[in-house]
Amino acid sequence: MKAIITSAICSSLLLMTGCTTQADSSNNAPLVTQKTVLASGIEKANLDNSIRPQDNFYRYVNGNWLKSHDIPGDKTAIGSFYDLRDKADDDVKAIIEELAATKNLKNGTDEQKVADIFRSYMDTEKRNNLGTQPIQPIFDAINKLDNKSELAAFFGKYQAVGVGSPLAFYISVDAKDSSSYATHIWQSGLGLPDKDYYFNETERYSKLRAGYTAHIEKMFDLAGLKNGKQAAQTIMDIETQLAKFHWTKVQSRDSVKRYNKFAVNQLNELTSAFDWSAYLAAQGVASQKDIIINQPDFVTGFGDIFAKTSLTDWQTYLTFHSLSHFSGYLTTDIDNENFDFYSKQLSGRKEQRPQWKRGVGVVNSNLGEVIGKVYVSRHFTPQAKSRMSQLVENLRSSYGNSIDDLEWMSADTKKAAHVKLAAFTPKIGYPDRWEDYSGLSIDASDLVGNILRSSRLSHDKEVSKLGGPIKNWEWGMTPQTVNAYYNPTVNEIVFPAAILQAPFFNMKADDAVNYGGIGAVIGHEMGHGFDDQGSKYDAKGNLRNWWTEQDLAEFSSRTKALVEQYDEYHVFEDLTVNGKLTLGENIGDLSGVTIAYKAYRASLNGKDAPVIDGLTGDQRFFMGYAQIWRAKIVEKSMRNRVATDPHSPAEFRALGSLSNMNEFYDAFDVKEGDAMYIAPENRVKIW
C-alpha cells in the first residue's frame, strides 16, 4: 500500500504547451508576454445570463453548459476535470496501442511489459475460459488455514497483494521524525464505503445493504462457491461489527490523534487475541521495533471480533474479499456483477466504461512511470516546466506577502510560517528520477499473475525503505495523472504534467483567467501546508506545534466559522455539505484563490488590466476560477461523495471561497440582499 498522501486535490487542471516568449525570472512576472491582444479565456457560450452573478456565480458562469450537457451512461460525472482525464486516457491509449501493435518486443524491456500487460487485460476470451482458476491458489491458502495464528499470517501476506482484511498496513514517513520511515496500520475491512452505510436506517442505506448482501451471494454463485446466501450474512455480520469501531472520516482527519506509536512488544496492550508476530513477519517486517497505529481503539475492537469469530467465518470473509479484489481480472460475468453493485447501485453509473479505458487504468496502475516517460516526451515541454516553475514562485511570493499582512497573527508565528513557506519543495511535470520496473515479470497470457507480481514488487519496495534515507525523488502520482497534491511529511507540492492543460492554463488568454485557474490550484496546494491539519507540521515535515497559543486559538475560531458556513450549503433538499469533513479542502480553496488573486494583481506591476470582451481583469479572474469547477454528477455518486469525500461539491468550492472575498464583491457589485452576500464581519479570512 502506497504511503497515504494527505490533502490531494481530487480534481484536474492544465497543460502548458510550448511558449515562444522568454521566461522573466522576476517575481510576479506575467505568464505570457502580451505582444498582441489576447482572448479573455472565458467560455462565453457557457454563461447563463438569466442568473445574476451576485446570486449564484457558479451557475452564472457555467449555467448554459449545465443545461446543455448530459452525462453519458458510462460516466458518473462530466466537466472540466473529467474532460482532461479523458484526454489523458486517449493520449496514453495511443502510446500503449503503438507498443501493443509492435511484434517481437524483447522480453524484459519496458516496452514488452506495457504491451503484454495491456494484451493480458484485453484478452477476454482467455479470462472467460479460465474462470476463477487464476485465484484458486489464494482460495486454497484460505481453505488450508488451521488456526488463528495462520489466519493472522494470511492477513499480512495477502494484504500485500490486495486482499482486503481489517488491518491496512503501509509504510510512510514518520510524522514526528521526518528523516525516517515508519510502519503504520489504518482501519479497514469494510466492503461498503464507510461505517455509516452499515447503520443509517434511511431507505437509501437500507437498500444498499440489501443490495450488498445480494451481491455477495451472486458473486459466490458465479464463482462456483457454495452457500452464497449464508456466506453473505456471515460477511455482513463481521463487517457490521468492524464498522462499530471504525473512526468516522472526520475523526480520522486529525493528524495528532492518529499518531500513536507503539513498541511492537506493546501491541498486546491493544489486543492480545491477535498474533502480531505472525502478522508482521508475513508483511516482511519481523525485525521492526515499533509501529504507528492510526486508530488504536479500532484495533482493540478488532481484537475482540477476531477472537470471537470462528476460523470458518473468517475464511468465508476472506474468500469473498479475495474474489472481490480480483473480480475485474476474471470472467465477464464476475466483472459485470462487481460493476453492477459498486458502480451502478452505489454510484449511479449505467454502463461499463469501454474495456480499453479500463485497460489503460491497469497499465497506469502497474507501469505508470514507464508510460509517463513517453507521455512527457510527447505532451510536456521544458518551456512548460519553466513557465510553471515561475508561476509557483510568483504564488510563493504572494503567499509570503499575505502572511505579513495578517492582522491576527503574531510576529513569532509569522516567522515560523515564512520558514515553512520557504521550505516548500515544488515538483512539476515529472520525476527527476524514474521508477525502476526491472524486477517485474509480465506475461501476456497471465493477467492475474501480472497483477500479483506487480503488487508484491511494490510492497517489497516499500518494505525496503525501512532504515534507509527518505526517497525525496519519489512521486505519489504519475505524470499522466490529472491531479495534484501536498504531502505534509516532506513539505512538497506536486503538479503532474497532465493537469497543466486548458482550461486551467490557456496560452492564448490574458493572464487573469490563468491566475484564476492554475494559479488558484497552485495556491490551493500551498494552502494545504497551512490548513487545519497541514498547519500542524513544521518546515521539515514534523508533526510539531509551531504556533503561539493565542494564534492557534484565533486560527481555530476562523476555521470554525468556515465549517459553519459550509454546513449550510444544501447539495439536495435533504443533504448538506459536511463542513468538518471538507474543512481542509475548503481552507485550501479559500487560500488558493485569495493568494492567486494577490499574485495576479502583483503581476500587473501597478498598471491597469485591459478590458476584454467588456470584462475587467478582476472579473475575468473570478470567472476563470468558477469555470474550472464546471461539473455535473449523477445523484447517487454525489451522495456517496458527500458522505466520504473531503472535497466539497464543485459548485460550493466556487461559491464558498468567493463569498468570503471582498474583491469579488467589488468586481461584481454584490450587495446586501444578494444570495451570495455575507456581512463583512462574518466573511472568513484565514491566509
DSSP track, 456-502: HHHHHHHHTTTTS---TT--SS-TT-S-BEEETTTTEEEEEGGGS-T
C-alpha cell at 555: 486560527
As to burial, measured by CB atoms within 10 angstroms (0-12 exposed, 13-18 middle, 19+ buried), residue 377 is: exposed
In this structure, the chain runs to a length of: 687
| Sign for the pseudo-dihedral over CA of 401, 402, 408, 410 | negative
Pairing of strands 167-174, 77-79: unpaired
The CATH architecture of the domain made up of 133-329 is Orthogonal Bundle (1.10)
Q: Give the span between the Cα atoms of 69 and 59, in whole angstroms.
A: 14
Residues in the chain, pLDDT under 50: 1-27, 29, 32-35
Q: Note the pLDDT of residue 38.
A: 74
Domains 44-70+380-428+498-682 and 133-329 belong to one CATH topology: no
As to burial, measured by CB atoms within 10 angstroms (0-12 exposed, 13-18 middle, 19+ buried), residue 233 is: middle
Of 589, 583, 610, 613, whose CA–CA distance to 516 is shortest? 589
The residue assigned the cell 458473486 is 219
pTM: 0.92
Q: Note the pLDDT of residue 100.
A: 83
Residues 6+ apart with CB under 8 A from 260: 292, 293, 294, 296
Phi, psi of 179 (to 5 degrees): -90, 0
SS3 169: strand
Q: So where are the chain's domains?
A: 44-70+380-428+498-682, 133-329
Q: Helical H runs in 171-327?
A: 196-199, 203-222, 228-245, 255-258, 276-283, 296-308, 311-326
The CATH architecture of the domain made up of 44-70+380-428+498-682 is 3-Layer(aba) Sandwich (3.40)
Q: Note the pLDDT of residue 299.
A: 98
Q: Note the pLDDT of residue 381.
A: 85
